[in-house]
Structure 1
Amino acid sequence: MSINIDLILASFGGGVFAAALGVIGSFSLCGALILVGIAAAVTTGDNNILNLIAFGPYFGPHISYAGAVAAAAYAGRKQLIDGANILVPLNKLKRFDVLLIGGLFGVLGYLCNELLAVSGIQIDTIAFTVVISNVLVRLVFGKSGFLGRTPKEIKINPGVQTLLFSSLLGFSLGLVSSFATQLTGFVPIGYGISALSLLMLFHDEFPVTHHVAICAAYAAKATGSLIIGGIFGILALLLGNLVGSLFNKNSDTFIDPPALTIAVLSPIIFIFL
């Protein structure tokens, strides 16, 4: 494992900047830079924007997203905001310590992802790093327990209409993301589009689908089949919904359902497809 001091310093800066923007604000920009990076790679053959900006210290989810989640949880611990609120830009708090936490977890995300990458583990290391960081944040800053406070009533059955809706959405997005990957050769193109679309969350309820897009793209890339991509799109959306219900319904920090979904499904795809 080689440690690059410049990347460590940049990761600290990326974590601080992401905390100021807020979780969704920073991640949406990640989506935009993914698309810019793909365009640059297609036109010039240079992958640096994609690999070192979109997925690097500036906007890489393991650095920026994880750092912003940590900063929000810390702010929640200090009773400044709801620590599970991923929409609020933490710049509004004007707190040095809140941004500092974002920077520190940005560095932690960089180091963790580097360690996972050199280990040879068959998994999406960025998603797995986000999960590890989110879990650590909950253990350190959370007060509601690992699975949150137990509600008086727990509903497990989502209903037939919800299942049909989610399955259709997951399959359809899986198809189009798979098609985009096969057409361009770039797996994260659908992921970038879905991440950018999360800007709509500031306006209204909007589907979170980047885990669907990337899992479908991984599957289609491995098999050459849009149908297999669509099936994994269904699995990703349903699993993401389940994870969100289990970990975030009554909690004071945020564990990212899409990252956990990708961390579960990517090894299955990488090893068995």
Structure 2
Amino acid sequence: MSVELVPELAVAADAVLQVGYEPGAPTDVVQSLTNPGILLGALAGGAFGAALGALPAFIFTGFLVIGGSLGGGGFGVDVGFGPVFGPHISFAGGVAAAGYAANKGYMESGFDYHNAKDIGFALGSKPDILAVGAVFGVFGVLIEQLSRQLALPVDPIPVSIVISALVVRAVFGYSIVGKVSDKANGYFDMGPFEREEMREPGEVKGDGGKSSEDRLAVEPWLPNMYKWSHVAAIGFFTGLGAGVITYNMISGGHGLIAVFAGFGISAASLLFLNLGVDRIPVTHHMTLAGATAFLSTWEGGILMLTDLSAADLTAPLAFGAAPALLFGAVFGLFSAVVGEASQRVFYAHSDTHFDPPAAAIVVWTLTLGLMVIAGLLNWAVWIPGTGI
């Protein structure tokens, strides 16, 4: 059932909120994928990510989203997630460029892991590197728009990032999931890293002048944030905090765009990680989960943002503010744990960057989307087909 937004809380003049799930149409896909503005923006954005490096490019996204959610009328959010600066374009382009540059022997960054994982390293202006970034920027927007215009009930941006990362490995000759060292007891074993054990000779390819035995047997994504208890704790509290920020902003009249404020703050905080400050956590997948899950279940927020009455909210998961905040905190924890599981499978034993936050966002947004389809939630806010 589609409903009009309360005008003063509208994210954009033509926005419509709904309850339930509504699929997209193939004609929307064709129209989107033949839009020259989208394709040219993606070319530029992918090259931008290659030049600056994937992580610095993503930090730009964070600052844009902060500006848009806190006072930019939504414009910064649109730009931060759109052509040029969208992470499925600029970040994914930077990841691809690093994979290519390391494979060609261009990178000797001094990174502790395989150079192709060094997403904070700027790759400059070499034309072939920029071209790789540009091509993967276009690939990223094609996947994102296909998912978005079909209104698949999942966040299309991380879907694109995950697929792009795996394609990078296939195209440039890296193993899709990596090789588990003989010193590790399966994908989930981080023990060899804690014992500072190295790879065996010839076990994997060398890199940047290093041989196989110069590489750690296991390379966790965040050396200071991989223990399950640590990951769960930071996920719970950042998810809770993002929910509280969303609650306060919506109560103060900011509207739906407030749901992205926590994500923007988390993404921008990675500036300190890129500058080498130790022990900076990566939390944007947790804060986005906490805020979205909170607003998916906060009955008062749904009523404020739409012209629905309480009688229209028929799904069982609709709560007051306090239970909804706890629901958001649990989803923050869930996202954190899923991210950690994905890094143990797809990052710690491999050669190129695979983004655990993107994988986590895919899982929890799909979970919320399926909960809408199953009738457990009234909406999932911004997830395609379930909210806007």
TM-score, scaled relative to structure 1 = 0.91
Partner amino acid, structure 2, of 1:57: P
Whether 1:218 aligns to 2:218 is: no
Whether 1:234 aligns to 2:333 is: yes
**Structure 1: runs of 5+ lacking an equivalent:** none
Whether 1:5 aligns to 2:36 is: yes
CA contact (8 A) 1:142 1:252 kept: no
CA contact (8 A) 1:142 1:253 kept: no
Which stretches of structure 1, 4 residues or more, deviate above 4 A after TM superposition? none
Q: Kindly tell me the number of residue pairs found equivalent between the two proteins.
A: 264
Taking the aligned partners of 2:295 and 2:173, their CA distance within structure 1 comes to: 38
**Structure 2: runs of 5+ lacking an equivalent:** 1-28, 108-114, 192-225, 250-255, 299-323, 372-376, 378-388
Taking the aligned partners of 1:38 and 1:219, their CA distance within structure 2 comes to: 17
CA contact (8 A) 1:32 1:193 kept: yes
Taking the aligned partners of 1:211 and 1:89, their CA distance within structure 2 comes to: 24
Whether 1:113 aligns to 2:144 is: yes
Q: Which residue of the other structure, out of 8, 13, 18, is the alignment partner of 2:49?
A: 18
**Matched position secondary structure for 1:90:** coil
Q: How far has the Cα of 1:154 moved from its partner?
A: 2.2
Whether 1:61 aligns to 2:79 is: no
Q: Which residue of the other structure, out of 271, 275, 283, is the alignment partner of 1:209?
A: 283
CA contact (8 A) 2:66 2:76 kept: no
Structure 2 matches for 1:22-101, cutoff 5 A?
Answer: 22-41=53-72, 45=73, 47-51=74-78, 53-81=79-107, 82-91=115-124, 94-101=125-132
Match of 2:348 in 1: 249
CA contact (8 A) 2:338 2:360 kept: yes
Q: How far has the Cα of 1:194 moved from its partner?
A: 0.7
Partner amino acid, structure 2, of 1:89: A
Match of 1:192 in 2: 264
TM-score, scaled relative to structure 2 = 0.65
Structure 2 matches for 1:124-273, cutoff 5 A?
Answer: 124-143=155-174, 145-154=175-184, 156=188, 162-184=227-249, 185=256, 186-202=258-274, 203=276, 204-224=278-298, 225-272=324-371, 273=377
Q: How far has the Cα of 1:165 moved from its partner?
A: 2.3
Taking the aligned partners of 2:173 and 2:116, their CA distance within structure 1 comes to: 8
Q: How far has the Cα of 1:142 moved from its partner?
A: 3.9
- % same residue: 36
Larger Rg: 2
**Matched position secondary structure for 1:188:** helix
**Matched position secondary structure for 1:251:** coil
Partner amino acid, structure 1, of 2:96: A
- The structure with the largest helix share of the pair is 1
Q: How far has the Cα of 1:255 moved from its partner?
A: 1.1
Taking the aligned partners of 2:94 and 2:52, their CA distance within structure 1 comes to: 8
Distance 1:100-1:158 versus aligned 2 partners, 3 A rule: closer
**Matched position secondary structure for 2:116:** coil
Q: How far has the Cα of 1:158 moved from its partner?
A: 6.9
Taking the aligned partners of 2:296 and 2:143, their CA distance within structure 1 comes to: 26
The Cα RMSD (Å) is 1.8
Taking the aligned partners of 1:157 and 1:148, their CA distance within structure 2 comes to: 14
Partner amino acid, structure 2, of 1:220: F
Q: How far has the Cα of 1:153 moved from its partner?
A: 2.3
**Which deviates further from its counterpart, 212-221 or 148-157?**
148-157
